[in-house]
Amino acid sequence: MRDTREKENDGPTVVVLTASDIEFDAVERLLAGDPESAARDEIGTVYRLGWIDGTPWRVALAEIGTGNGGAAVVATHAVKRFQPRLVMFVGTAGSLKESVAVGDVVVATKVYGVHGAKVTDDGFHARPESWQLAHEVRQSATTVHRRWRRDPAAPPVHFKPVAAGEVVHAGEDTAYSRQLRRHYEDAVAVEMESAGVSQAAHMHRGWPAVTVRGIGDRTREGTELGARNAAAFAVAVIREVECDEGEVAVPEVVVRRAGAPRGWRAGASVRVGHAEFLLEADQLGELGGEFWGRALWLGRRQQHAWLRRVDGPGDGREALRLENEFLTRRPYGALPGRGVHEELGGTAVLALPWPGRSRGPAPTAAEAYGTEPVFGSAQGWVLLACGHLAETLGVLHEQGVTHRCLAPETVLLWTAGKPRLRDLGAAFRRPRPGEGYAGYRAPEQEYATYRPDLIGPPTDVYQLAALTYRLLTGTPPTPPRVLPLRTYLPDAPAHLDDLLRAALAPDPAARPTAPELAAHLRRSENHTSC
């Protein structure tokens, strides 16, 4: 890295401190700008300088090792060097609560310095110091959390206290962990740096500090998952923080990092292989190193694409590769068309065609159908489209593939009665509790009734039935007491009601197959006025 002093005063700055290389890398891969841009403070700490794409925020990122003492010293000098608007400690922590699992994100509303105490003949008496999260920063984090909750695959985020000490927490039921649970009962995580950063912030005043931790475990995979999720949430918080410098020019990304697209905000240009795309989405999904959005396919008239990007290890990158291979070999019906796939370093990107109309990209079913019931010929179009989807699912099931993520947001309405799947959902990923979209998950996918051994073709049948019900009535079904279709549609055929009830059965074995569902939907479509 070189010391780029010409960048020292460019834009408002956020200092992000990490303790390890895994934590540093998780944040760095989300930064834009020259990867060789760096600066040093007066004690020699090296900061990687980058930008949050599409914002005026510059980030000074450093890896400083463990310990509250060192964190306090570095934070003090970082403030002197950069005069930041916010100092963040981003990394992993150990869980103190069963309800806070590996991969969850914790935003520290209070930081306990846990080694202040008095020891007498009666035992240990805690005398902790604590530091509260600034109201303004908490509001920014809360706003981000509200958006995250809309994503069914987003990791849980806990706004809770954390405990920061000088002991490595490496056991499930150690004397140290029992002491923490006894004296700091509301703390949900334990780590080793935030007390130092918070103390420095308290002494210097005028700059807020926040801790964002992802829960890890003693495996590298768990640590990387926690670090990725913490980094993704932290960057989302930075995007939300208001800049009060008036008209601040948003810096352009002039150097493309090896292994990462040039930008993932509206208006950014992204190259995948020999194809180039212009992102159109105002908000892109950000989930532990996973991003997605709709884009204009440059060089192709009125052609759009659905882009997904996965950073770092895990089954997400492999899933994109397998999905691309499957679609290349087996074009059929409502399946997405052949796309463009690329892997560079630790990043994988898949672009799939998004069908369009003369007036723009095809709408999703969520965009095309509101919250009111449909009548007359519109019912026929819904049943025709869902029949096509059922036939396509049947073909997938013959190949041993299940979608597992059907919802109005994942179905594109190309032409009347001819839908197109946006992608193959979770087809090539391992099942996980809570996968899919809320309101459309099968019982075996729900957190409380999770049964991975039952997830399969009947799961898709359930989700398609829920989707059909939603498009017809304007509202998703509400098991276990699903209201009859005639509650919303007085003229709905009785056999259609029976069909959807069977497909929404709690027991996967009691549901019809996808081809059976397709045949019955066709029959129902013929009984509606089209």
pLDDT for the residue 255? 31
The CATH number of residue 291's host domain is 3.30.200.20
CA atoms of 306 and 267, how far apart (whole Å):
15
Q: Which of 36-40, 443-447, 522-526 has the lowest mean pLDDT?
A: 522-526
Listed residue (75, 64, 57, 55) closest to 131, CA to CA: 75
Q: What is the pLDDT of residue 218?
A: 81
Contact 93, 83 (CB under 8 A): no
Q: Which residues pair with 271 in a beta bridge?
A: 276
Rounded distance, CA 529 to CA 4, Å?
70
Is residue 251, in this structure, part of any structural domain at all?
no
Q: pLDDT digits over 157-195, tens only?
A: 999 999 887 666 555 666 666 766 677 778 888 888 888
- At 394, is the secondary structure helix, strand, or coil? helix
C-alpha to C-alpha distance for 350 and 307, rounded to whole angstroms = 6
What the block records as the tokens of 82 is 């950069």
Instruction: Look at residues 207, 240, 273 and tell me which one is the last residue of a structural domain.
Output: 240
Name the residue range of residue 220's domain: 2-240
Per-residue confidence (pLDDT) for residue 19, from 0 to 100 = 92
CATH of the domain at 142: 3.40.50.1580
Which band of pLDDT confidence, cut at 50, 70 and 90, is reported for residue 206? Answer: low
Pairing state of beta strands 157-164 and 189-191?
Answer: parallel
Strand 123-126 to strand 275-279: parallel, antiparallel, or no bridges (unpaired)?
Answer: unpaired
d(CA 20, CA 177): 22
Rounded to two decimals, the pTM is: 0.55
Q: How many domains does the chain have?
A: 3
What pLDDT is recorded for position 268?
65
Which residues lie below 8 Å from residue 198, measured CB to CB, with a gap of 6+?
A: 111, 113, 131, 164, 209, 211
pLDDT tier for residue 530 given thresholds of 50, 70 and 90: very low
**CA-CA distance, 51 to 71, in Å (whole number)?**
23
Tell me the CA distances in angstroms from 11 to 50, 186, 343, 439, one per residue in order: 11, 38, 32, 43
Query: Torsions phi, psi of 88, nearest 5?
Result: -120, 140
Tokens of residue 91, six digits: 């990394």
Q: Is there a single domain that holds both residue 346 and residue 488?
A: no
Region 426-449 average pLDDT = 91
Same domain, 67 and 212: yes
Same domain, 350 and 373: no
Of residues 216, 25, 26, 31, the one with CA closest to residue 105: 216
More confident site: 57 or 415: 57
Kindly state the average pLDDT of the residues 99-117.
85
Residue ending a domain, choose from 310, 329, 361: 361
Instruction: Write out the E strands in 334-423.
Output: 340-344, 347-354, 356-357, 360-361, 411-415, 418-421
Nearest to 423 by CA among 347, 327, 513, 317: 327
pLDDT at 286: 43
Helix pair angle (494-503, 457-473), 10° resolution? 140
411 bridge partner residues: 421
> Looking at residues 294-301, what average pLDDT do you find?
75
Write down the pLDDT at residue 454.
96
Beta bridge partners of 285: 292
**DSSP 8-state assignment for residue 510:** G
Which one, of 429, 430, 432, 410, lies nearest residue 421 by Cα? 410
Examine the domain organization and report whether 272 and 173 are in the same domain: no
pLDDT band at 123 (very low <50, low <70, confident <90, very high): low
Same-domain pairing of 279 and 340: yes
Please report whether residue 253 resides in a domain: no
Higher-pLDDT residue of 170, 143: 143
Confidence bin at 285 (pLDDT 50/70/90): very low
Q: Are residues 329 and 404 in the same domain?
A: no
Q: Which two tokens stand for residue 147?
A: 């958006």
Confidence of residue 246 (pLDDT cuts 50, 70, 90): very low
Same domain, 140 and 224: yes
What crossing angle do the helices spanning 457-473 and 514-526 adopt, rounded to 10°?
20
Is the pLDDT reported for residue 303 higher than 90? Answer: no
Q: What is the mean pLDDT of residues 192-207?
A: 78
Residue 141 near residue 237, CB atoms below 8 Å: yes
Are both 343 and 297 inside the same structural domain?
A: yes
Among 428, 433, 469, 426, CA closest to 454: 433
**One domain, residues 182 and 323:** no
Percent of the chain with pLDDT over 70: 81
For 204-270, the DSSP string reads H-SS-EEEEEEE--SSHHHHHHHHHHHHHHHHHHHHHS---SSS-PPPP--SPPTTS-S--STT-EE
Question: What are the start-end ranges of the H helices in 241-376?
Answer: 315-329, 365-368
- Per residue in 343-383, pLDDT (tens digit) is 876 788 899 999 876 567 888 999 888 888 988 888 888 99
Mean pLDDT on 481-490: 90
pLDDT, the chain, mean: 82
Q: Let me know whether 371 and 224 are in one domain.
A: no
Whether residues 366 and 467 share a domain: the answer is yes
Q: Are residues 218 and 236 in the same domain?
A: yes
Cα distance between residue 52 and residue 241, in whole Å? 12
Cα 369 to Cα 413: distance, rounded to the nearest angstrom: 10
Who wins on pLDDT, 189 or 331? 189
In a domain, 397, yes or no: yes
Structure tokens at 317: 């990158």
Lookup: tokens for 525: 């479509």
Residue 122: what pLDDT?
A: 62
